[in-house]
Each structure stands twice: as structure tokens, then as C-alpha cells.
Structure 1
Amino acid sequence: MATLTISSKNYSSWSLRGWLLCKMAGLAFEEERVPLDDPDMKAELLLLSPSFLVPRLVLEDVTVWDTLAIAAFLNEVFPQAGLLPADRAVRAHCLSISGEMHSGFANMRSALPMNIKAHYPGFKVWAGAQADIDRIVAIWRGCLTAHGGPFLMGTAPTLADAMYAPVCSRFTTYDVKLDPECDGYRARVMALPLMQEWIAGALNEPEELEELGAEF
């Protein structure tokens, strides 16, 4: 049995990405939770660390961390799952926008931290975060146009959708206004059974991270 180490289901966007990738691959795994008082976990959630070891996947004699590394590994082990598109050009597009999500959008991450339990109608988005949102919307529109939807790379979710799923959650939490096409994509991702499973876990998570509210 594989083991996936994650942190908070309510707050951790990276844990969600790794968890979705494992589920999408069809991997049977046990969840291992980092203790809520672990300093490394708090550094991740408060964006205080440039690198961290969650999510972390252990499968037999292999340990792999970082969402893109987990995706590459799972694609090798479960190529039939379609985490990466078979077509070379579509796969390159998928990797490019996933890499952009992985390394960018710092203003949006900071201003709109993931918080599944919360909802802020009419939330004021300032210019720095809005520029990131505008770029994400452009990515979504380009993908849906190029590949026909309903997901970013076509008919089925891939790595790209796992990478942008926490953004869909953020846009829901902070009431980000989107055009009908992009709002439809956001709603489809949020309605996925796997997302609903994760959300249920987040809603049942104990309130033991009081200081995060002040830091965010």
C-alpha cells in the first residue's frame, strides 16, 4: 500500500494537488497527516518556505515529493490514467501551464489563500492579485478554446486540472467574478466527485490553526 503525506485539507493547496493526482491515477494509498503543530506545515501554509516536503508519496521503495515530480512518477507507473495527454503538442501545453501554476502567481496565492470553509462575498481583489487572476483566466480560455473542453486539455481531467483545482477553490471562496465560460469551468472542477470528497474532509477538519487567520 502506498502512503501519501499531506497537511491541512482546508488550507493546503499543494496537498490537494498531490492527492488529486494520486486519485486520478487510480493509486490505492493511505493518507498520512502532518501534525497540525508541525513547524514545516505552518511554514508551507503561511507561504514562509520556498520548498517543503508535503505532499510526499511513498510507493514501495520510491519516495517522491513536489507535485510535478509526483505527476511525472505517476504517469510512468500508470500511463493508462492519462495524467498527461498522449498527443505531444497537447502534452507540451499541459506541462507549460502546469509549470506556470507551479512557479508563479505569488500575488494571488498571498492575497487569496486557500480556505475551503470560508466564503467572502464581494471580496476586494487588489491590482497585484488581479493581474494574476487575469493571466489564469487567459490560460483557461485558451485551453478551453484550443482543446474543446470541458476540462483544460479536453474531455477528461489531467495534470493541468489538478494544478488549477485549488485556484477554482480560491475563486469560490473569494467570490471572484469570472466570465460564463471560465465560471463554468470553475463549477465543473468544484463538482467533481474527487473534489467533493476532499471538500468533505476539509469541512470536517478541526479548527486548530487559529493563528493562520491573523497571518493571512
Structure 2
Amino acid sequence: MALTLLIGNKNYSSWSLRAWLALTASGIPFEARLVPFGSAEFAAAFEGLDAPRRVPLLLDDDVAVWDSLAIIEHAAERYPDRPVWPGDRVARGMARAVAAEMHSSFHRLRRHLPMNLWRPVETRAFDADIGAEIARIGEIWRAARGRFGAGGDFLFGRFCAADAMFAPVATRFATYGVPLDPVCADYVAAIHAQPDFVAWRKAALAEPWVEPHDEVDWPEVKRVPAA
């Protein structure tokens, strides 16, 4: 049985993007099912499941796995021949560590600069605490690129699950005009050019659903036109 991944609105659901992008870029076969936030379909999707009502949620026969990082690890275990993580042991250890740090950290940044793929690029002021989180992310990116990035445009050369975990952050930096050094700016550009992300963003721009709590200009909803 193929895996099924329940995801939320592509414009806003950063955690859905992480899981979807890691599986897609690794060539893992799965079916994505989008359930819009607040809809009857969203509520119905979780009926009878021993899982919390949140996305993403991976269904694998009788196994339900929630939480993006758990989904990524489950998929990597299920398909050990797929390049979910770097092949090199040392690089893989660092990739897992920075993915876990992304998973558990940077809460102020995520709240103040929510993922919103259809918002035009406009700066938004942030305080010193958020600035410190941004600085730490830059440290991670420069360290990974400097040590392991020679083989491609991503943190560990080729795209892997660590990049999927940081992809929504890259979108935030672009959307809100966060100043970046050349290494980080090039990495943000690489994420935005990654073909699977391009496909996700194109679909996001065509979505009709608006989530006010993710619109920092509310009640105004600023949108770039769909392609």
C-alpha cells in the first residue's frame, strides 16, 4: 500500500511543506491529500484515527505518523534506498542535528514571520530576540555549506531532509525581506528554484483559502498573482 500524506493549505502550512518536500525530493512514492484548515473535510479526515487532528499526518497501512520530523524518519526507515539524508555518516549526523534544531527552535521567528507564499516581498521589523534566531540560522547554513556543500547548492550539497526542514524559513526570509549575507542569500535562492518547491508554490498561489492569523497585514490580504 502506498503512503498517504495529509497536508494543509500549501500557502501557509510550513510543517506540511517540510514533510511533503522531503518525501517528494527523495523519490518516495506517496499520495498527498490536501485538507483545508477549518473545513468539514479536515475534520472528517481524522475520524477513526489514533492521531491528533493536525497536519501533516502520514498513513502507512495501520500506522499513523504525525509530526514532520517523525514522518521524515519513518519514510527514511521504510525506504532505506532513497536519499532522504546525506550518504556520508558525518554529514548525516550534522544534517539530523540541524533538522532537529529547526524542529524545536526559532519559535519567535515562526510566530512573527509566518509562512505566507502569496504575500508580496515587503519588509517587517523584528526585535533583537528574533534577530538572534535569524543569526543562529545563518550560522547553521554557513557551517553546513562550508563543510559539506561543495557538491551542490544545498546545505549538504544535494537536497536532503535538512533542506526540507529549513525550506519554510527560506521563504520567510524572502517574503519579509530579511537582510542576508551572500551565502545565505544564495541558499534562499536555491530553495526557491528547487523544482519540487516551485511546484508547491505554484499550487499555493492558486489556493482560495485565507487564514487571518497568518496574514500579518490583516484585514488586508496582500497577494502576488497566481502564475
TM-score (norm: length of structure 1): 0.87
Q: Does 1:32 align with 2:61?
A: no
Q: Across the two proteins, how many residue pairs are aligned to each other? A: 204
- CA distance in 1 between counterparts of 2:30 and 2:78 reads 14
- CA distance in 1 between counterparts of 2:75 and 2:130 reads 32
Aligned equivalent of 1:47: none
The 8 Å contact of residues 10 and 205 in structure 1, kept in 2 or not, is answered as: yes
Give, as a single letter, the amino acid of the residue that structure 1 aligns with 2:167: A
**Structure 1 residues without counterparts, runs of 5 or longer:** 42-50
Give, as a single letter, the amino acid of the residue that structure 1 aligns with 2:72: A
Aligned equivalent of 1:48: none
The structural deviation recorded for 1:59 is: 2.3
Give, as a single letter, the amino acid of the residue that structure 1 aligns with 2:34: R
Aligned equivalent of 1:184: 186
More helix by share: 1
Give, as a single letter, the amino acid of the residue that structure 1 aligns with 2:156: M
- CA distance in 1 between counterparts of 2:214 and 2:120 reads 16
Aligned equivalent of 1:130: 131
The structural deviation recorded for 1:68 is: 1.3
**Structure 2 residues without counterparts, runs of 5 or longer:** 43-51, 220-227
The 8 Å contact of residues 5 and 55 in structure 1, kept in 2 or not, is answered as: yes
Aligned equivalent of 2:171: 169
The structural deviation recorded for 1:34 is: 2.5
Aligned equivalent of 2:161: 159
- The percent of aligned pairs where both chains have the same amino acid is 41
1:129-148 maps to which residues of 2 (within 5 A)? 129-148=130-149
- CA distance in 2 between counterparts of 1:104 and 1:176 reads 18
- CA distance in 2 between counterparts of 1:68 and 1:29 reads 16
**Change in CA separation of 1:179 and 1:162 when aligned onto 2, cut-off 3 Å:** same
- CA distance in 2 between counterparts of 1:178 and 1:19 reads 26
**Change in CA separation of 1:116 and 1:95 when aligned onto 2, cut-off 3 Å:** same
The 8 Å contact of residues 26 and 160 in structure 2, kept in 1 or not, is answered as: no
Query: Can you list the C-alpha shifts for 1:30-78, whole angstroms capped at 9, x where unaligned?
Result: 2222233259x8xxxxxxxxx8631011123322111111111111122
Cα RMSD after superposing both structures = 2.0
Give, as a single letter, the amino acid of the residue that structure 2 aligns with 1:78: Y
* 3-state SS in 1 of match to 2:81: helix
The structural deviation recorded for 1:82 is: 1.5
- CA distance in 2 between counterparts of 1:183 and 1:112 reads 17
- CA distance in 2 between counterparts of 1:123 and 1:212 reads 14
**Change in CA separation of 1:34 and 1:207 when aligned onto 2, cut-off 3 Å:** closer
Which runs of at least 4 in structure 1 moved beyond 3 Å after TM superposition?
Answer: none
- CA distance in 1 between counterparts of 2:212 and 2:133 reads 28
Aligned equivalent of 1:209: 211
The structural deviation recorded for 1:211 is: 5.3
TM-score (norm: length of structure 2): 0.83
